[in-house]
Amino acid sequence: MIPMPTQLSGAKFLAQRHRALLADEPRVGKTGAAIIAADMIIAKRIDVVTTASGRAVWRRGFISWGKINRSIGIVGLDKNAVNCDVRIFSYNGATKFTPNRINDLVILDESHNCKNPESQRTKALLGKAVSGGLYLHNENSFVKTSTRAWFLTGTPLPHDPSDIWTTLRSSCPERLLADNTRGWPDVTRFEDFRHRYCKVYMKKVSNWKRIPVVVSGRNETELRERLGDFMLRRTQQDIGLRPPVYELFPLIISESVRNNLFTQVAKVAILVAAEQNDTHTLDLHLGPLRRLTGAIKAEAVAGAVKEEFDNGLKKIVLMYWHKEVGDILQDRLSAFNPLRIDGSTSAKDREHYESVFAKRDEHQVMLGQIQAAGEAVDFSAANELWFVEQSFSPKDMAQAAMRITNVNQAQNTFVRVCYIEGSIDEAVQATLLRLFTAIKGVIE
Amino acid sequence: MIKIELTIDPTKSVYEQLLSQVEVFRPVTAPVTVSVVDEDYPNVQPTPTPKPKRTRKTATLEQVATKTIVTAMTLPDPNQQDSADETAEVASDVLTHDDVRSVVGDYTKRFGIAAAQKKIPVILGCPIADIPDDQESLQAAIDKIQNEMSDGPDVIEDTPLFADDLEDEVTEQDVRDALMLYAKTYDVDAKMTNTLIDGPEILKKTFGPSVTALRLIPKDPASYKKALKAITEATEQNWFKRNKLKVV
């Protein structure tokens, strides 16, 4: 993998710092940059804490980006993962884990998950703030005072400026001190920080209780100057529009479910058929499994999509094959007001949904049956499309992917093919992805 | 019938292994067939067919309608991305810090990460990220590492920093299993009378008087390992002189 110039500069930024915040916009390439930086400092023992759906992505990232051979394990999933060089944790997993070794590096991916100083998660990872933040007890946390730690997030301030206090308090408390020459007060304590950089009013919830509610920010310039070179942020515009990125997206499914699914299939025949685009043989061997596999993948995808929205994604298109898979996705993602186009959708409704998806922000998810929604619609309001299931015909895939990778698209686009990690599904999806990417190159 | 058997290492990537195993079946080029059912399709071409048999009947309307387009297309190489990357690397004469990183990666593969952590900053005189971003400096850094590799001794195995950690992790379940084995060895019935007395004693001897139950063992692999070792020893050496059950 050849890094983009922005990834290299991001990697250098991280490698030159003991603590740093890489706040590039989503999809600018933070994961690759962090792994390159880890190589630059020749880190061996690395703990990565990420979202549940991000764990497999990081494992794949270390394999594809890393130039140093390290053993990699997902804690809670892989046997002996705690003894691996690179240990990958979910936030929930890390909260329950007692850090038991000295690391060369800790990477907190989507670090805005530690924004609340009172949460158990923040205490386990960054330490416990005492006396309102005047002291920090981090001897038993993942990120100790001596730990080299990098924070990655596309949304460093998901709600208001006070969200970044935990990161600054744990990593660069000197930046929170008073600077009389500039007229900056000491904001080491959380409440001082919040009142300095946020407009807060006390909302009455009962006769005896009032809670602080942030209504807007203030002194933003001062906060930006305090952050200084601790944070680096680039936008998608900074890296320029690039050709669509096609990648595989691993889904973590429990081993027992995975084994039960795939024990009986003729793996070699399937792979040869996929390579030769022999859809008949693929149907013969995988047909009965596809519906079941799709349903299992849909559950995992729904969780991953929720996390992507938490991490700053605005809209997404999900392509599926089976009606049941569409039903599951529609149900699990109902909070995001999904729109759905399948074979039963009338031409008038198709047009209406397309228009609504483009214009209204509350509709964040578009569900499309690969064939029915693969033509004559424009979903370029989203710049990310996931294939929850694949068609065995690469042409269907290529056409469906063009719903976002078209001339109306003003952002970088990403097409992800979801697969069940460590199964025959992984190999089949990889082969089909290559085929459909090649076809797409021809027909575009 | 041809039977194909594959040997797959469960500890490595299934995908990579399967792909490499079936690599031999991959044709360099193959026709991609796209079915067309639309009668109005303007460029319908007949499928190349072998020599017609004498008994062949005239095609029906449905058969004519379901003809295929055959487009010769090169199938992508399984390592297409790698090949493209390599080509791009060769094509690009401009050195970056990524090139230095690659050489450092080679160094770690030969001498180990621990050795690289110690020696690379000494060889370069600065961390990799601090190498000036100009061609001369980057080339000099690469040359220095490559010279060190060519002058260096034979390949050294990477010594783990904490060898104990590389052993299998012991969990609470392992300790529980060991205690059950103790019960099977020295208890006559399911009430586990002897184990209920001896178990706390073993733990007290191992961890001190405050640890009298499994749930009180410190929750880390090292402590579980210690507990497992003590219970196994108690079982093997019969610490409390219990009557051993005869296994039927």
CA dihedral sign, ordered B16, B21, B27, B31 = negative
When CB atoms are compared, the residue of A11, A98, A442 closest to B73 is A442
At B100, the amino acid letter reads V
Burial class (CB in 10 A: 0-12, 13-18, 19+), B7: exposed
Distance of alpha carbon A409 from the chain centroid: 21
Mean per-residue pLDDT for A133-141?
A: 91
Q: What is the pLDDT confidence band of residue A197, given thresholds at 50, 70 and 90?
A: very high
Mean per-residue pLDDT for A270-298?
A: 71
CA distances from residue A86 to A143, A201, B157 in whole angstroms, order as listed: 16, 44, 19
When CB atoms are compared, the residue of B14, B88, B169 closest to A426 is B14
Contacts of A268 in chain B (CB under 8 A): 4, 6, 21-22
Burial class (CB in 10 A: 0-12, 13-18, 19+), B195: buried
Instruction: Please check whether residue B166 touches A, CB under 8 A.
Output: yes
Contacts of A275 in chain B (CB under 8 A): 22, 25-26, 75
Q: Are the Cβ atoms of A44 and B114 closer than 8 angstroms?
A: yes
Distance CA A371, CA A391 (A): 8
Is residue A43 a contact partner of residue A82, using CB atoms and an 8 Å limit? Answer: no
Instruction: Answer yes or no: is pLDDT of A361 > 50.
Output: yes
Alpha helices in A133-189 (DSSP H): 165-171
ipTM of the complex in this document: 0.73
Contacts of B89 in chain A (CB under 8 A): 2
Residue-level pLDDT at B80: 47
User: pLDDT in tens for each of the 248 residues of chain B?
Assistant: 566 677 777 777 777 777 777 666 665 444 433 333 333 333 333 344 455 555 555 444 344 333 333 333 333 343 444 444 444 444 467 899 999 999 999 999 888 898 999 899 999 999 999 999 899 999 999 999 999 888 766 555 554 444 444 456 778 888 888 888 888 888 877 778 888 889 999 988 888 888 888 888 887 778 888 899 899 999 888 888 888 765 54
Shortest CA gap A349–chain B (Å): 25
**Partners of A420 in the beta sheet?**
A251
- Position of tokens 């219990």? B242
Q: Residue A219 has which token pair?
A: 């002194």
Instruction: Please check whether residue A438 touches B, CB under 8 A.
Output: yes
For A429, the closest chain B residue by CA position comes to B15
Beta pairing, strands A135-137 & A86-90: unpaired
User: Helix or strand or coil: residue A45?
Assistant: coil
pLDDT greater at residue A168 or residue B19? A168
Distance CA B24, CA A50 (A): 38
Domain ranges of chain A: 5-237, 241-443
Q: Are the Cβ atoms of B98 and A82 closer than 8 angstroms?
A: no
Distance CA A167, CA A156 (A): 9
CA dihedral B222, B116, A3, A146 (to 10 degrees): 50
Residue-level pLDDT at A251: 86
Distance CA A196, CA A193 (A): 5
pLDDT, tens digit, 9 for 90 and up, residues A61-120: 999 899 999 999 999 888 889 989 999 999 999 999 988 788 999 999 999 999 999 999
pLDDT greater at residue A419 or residue B159? A419
- Position of tokens 């058969």? B63
Residue-level pLDDT at A286: 67
User: Helix or strand or coil: residue A396?
Assistant: helix
Contacts of B19 in chain A (CB under 8 A): 271, 427, 430-431
A5-237 has CATH 3.90.580.10 classification: no
Residue-level pLDDT at B221: 78
* Residue in A351, A357, A432, A354 with CA at minimum distance from that of residue A398: A432
Distance CA A33, CA B149 (A): 27
Distance CA B163, CA A401 (A): 49
Mean per-residue pLDDT for A232-257?
A: 78
CA distances from residue A41 to A11, A73, B220 in whole angstroms, order as listed: 10, 21, 29
Q: Which of residues 374-393 of A touch B (CB under 8 A)?
A: 393
Domain ranges of chain B: 7-39+64-79, 93-151, 172-237
Q: Are the Cβ atoms of B26 and A275 closer than 8 angstroms?
A: yes
Q: List, as one string, the DSSP characters of B96-156.
A: -HHHHHHHHHHHHHHH-HHHHHHHHHHHHSS-GGGS-SSHHHHHHHHHHHHHHHHHS-S--
Contacts of B14 in chain A (CB under 8 A): 422-424, 426-427
Contacts of B108 in chain A (CB under 8 A): 42, 68-69
Residue-level pLDDT at A35: 96
Instruction: Please check whether residue B89 touches A, CB under 8 A.
Output: yes
CA distances from residue B194 to A380, A413, B173, B211 in whole angstroms, order as listed: 71, 67, 20, 18
When CB atoms are compared, the residue of A80, A272, A395 closest to B25 is A272
CA triple A259-A265-A267, angle to 5 deg: 100
At B90, the amino acid letter reads V
Do you know the residue count of chain B? Answer: 248
Residue-level pLDDT at B204: 87
Task: Compute the mean pLDDT over every residue in chain A, rounded to the nearest whole number.
Answer: 86
Is residue B43 a contact partner of residue B36, using CB atoms and an 8 Å limit? Answer: no
* Residue in B97, B37, B98, B111 with CA at minimum distance from that of residue B67: B37
Is residue A25 a contact partner of residue A155, using CB atoms and an 8 Å limit? Answer: no
Contacts of B116 in chain A (CB under 8 A): 42, 68
What b-and-e string marks burial along A398-425, b requiring 16 or more CB atoms within 10 Å of the CB? Answer: bbbbbbbbeeebebbbbbbbbbbbbbbb
For A1, the closest chain B residue by CA position comes to B85
Contacts of A36 in chain B (CB under 8 A): 98, 101
Q: Of A2, A17, A42, A440, which to mutate for an interface test with B (greatest number of B Cβ within 10 Å)?
A: A42
Beta pairing, strands A19-22 & A72-74: unpaired
A93-102, A164-173, A240-249, B190-199 — which one is most confidently predicted on average?
A164-173
Topology of the domain covering A241-443: Rossmann fold (3.40.50)
Cβ pairs bridging A and B (under 8 Å): 134
Q: What is the pLDDT confidence band of residue A442, given thresholds at 50, 70 and 90?
A: very low
- Position of tokens 């909260």? A95
Q: Are the Cβ atoms of B73 and A438 closer than 8 angstroms?
A: yes
Shortest CA gap B121–chain A (Å): 9
Shortest CA gap A35–chain B (Å): 11
Instruction: Please check whether residue B221 touches A, CB under 8 A.
Output: yes
Rg of chain B's alpha carbons, rounded to an integer?
34
Q: How many C-alpha atoms does B11 have within 13 Å on its Cβ side? A: 6
